[in-house]
Amino acid sequence: MCGRFSITLPPDAMARLFEAVPANDLPDVPNYNVCPTNAVHVVTAVGGQRRLGAMRWGFIPHWYKKPNDGPLLINARAETIAEKPAFRAACRERRAVIVASGFYEWTRDGDARLPWYISRTDGAPLAFAAIWQTWSAKDDTDEMRTAAIVTTGANKSMSTIHHRMPVILEPDDIPLWLGEQGKGAATLMRAAPEDTLGWYRVDKTVNSNRAAGPALIEPLGDAPT
């Protein structure tokens, strides 16, 4: 599961990092509390060129008559993505990268939801494997590009926080995932190595999807793992 994340990398730095041409309508940065249905930064490869654009986080199947016509599909499970009617065409033809700085997960202590902030131990941005497609209403109004993050079973260390984790791509994985190096992208839908991520507790303020600001990712006393 990945249900909230942060992005602090400036768009021009994203464009350089992923060798992509940036669009003009990119979401504002920084955003320390990116929520489902927000616009997110997405890298695609179309016609031999990488593009950095904005998409709605929340994949909308083509048969939805309106965006809220069914479940909000923010994640796609790697184990079933190639079989699910909502995702299988996108998995073959429309793979992408969602750029993030870190993401949040929650554990429980009785009735309390305790948030953790998770990021790469090397300080690099996160490249989430994603899928996308364009959705529009029957009358061709409200056309929008939508995306979902691909998730897989957590590795051993991450499983202490949550049993699922996003599929995290390394730089050398990206050409294959984006379809620039032929077939075989399914081999990338696996848990990250044990030492890829670290995490620490943050304040429960982030439990609200209205919360904002850099204090959301400040450590809450606990030393990072």
**Alpha carbons 90 and 92: distance in angstroms, whole number:** 5
Residue 143 known to be catalytic: no
- Of 152, 175, 87, 161, the C-alpha closest to 118 is 161
Instruction: Single out the catalytic residue among 2, 35, 93, 143.
Output: 2
Instruction: Single out the catalytic residue among 91, 93, 105, 180.
Output: 105
**pLDDT value of position 117:** 98
Segment-wise mean pLDDT, segments of 10 residues, the chain, 225 residues: 93 97 96 98 94 98 93 97 97 97 95 95 98 87 92 97 97 97 94 97 96 97 53
**pLDDT value of position 127:** 98
**pLDDT value of position 223:** 45
**pLDDT value of position 138:** 77
Residue 35 known to be catalytic: no
Task: For 19-42, write each residue's pLDDT tens digit.
Answer: 999 999 999 999 999 999 999 999
Q: What is the 3-state secondary structure (H, E, C) of the chain?
A: CCCCEEECCCHHHHHHHHCCEECCCCCCCCEEEECCCCEEEEEEEECCEEEEEEEEECECCCCCCCCCCCCCECEEECCCCCCCCCCHHHHHHCEEEEEECEEEEEEEECCEEEEEEEEECCCCCEEEEEEEEEECCCCCCCCEEEEEEEEEECCCCHHHCCCEEECECCHHHHHHHCCCCCCCHHHHCCCCCCCCEEEEECCHHHHCCCCCCHHHHCCCCCCCC
**pLDDT value of position 54:** 98
**pLDDT value of position 47:** 87
Task: For 87-111, write each residue's pLDDT tens digit.
Answer: 999 999 999 999 999 999 999 998 8
**pLDDT value of position 142:** 75
Beta pairing partners, 166: 151
**Alpha carbons 124 and 114: distance in angstroms, whole number:** 25
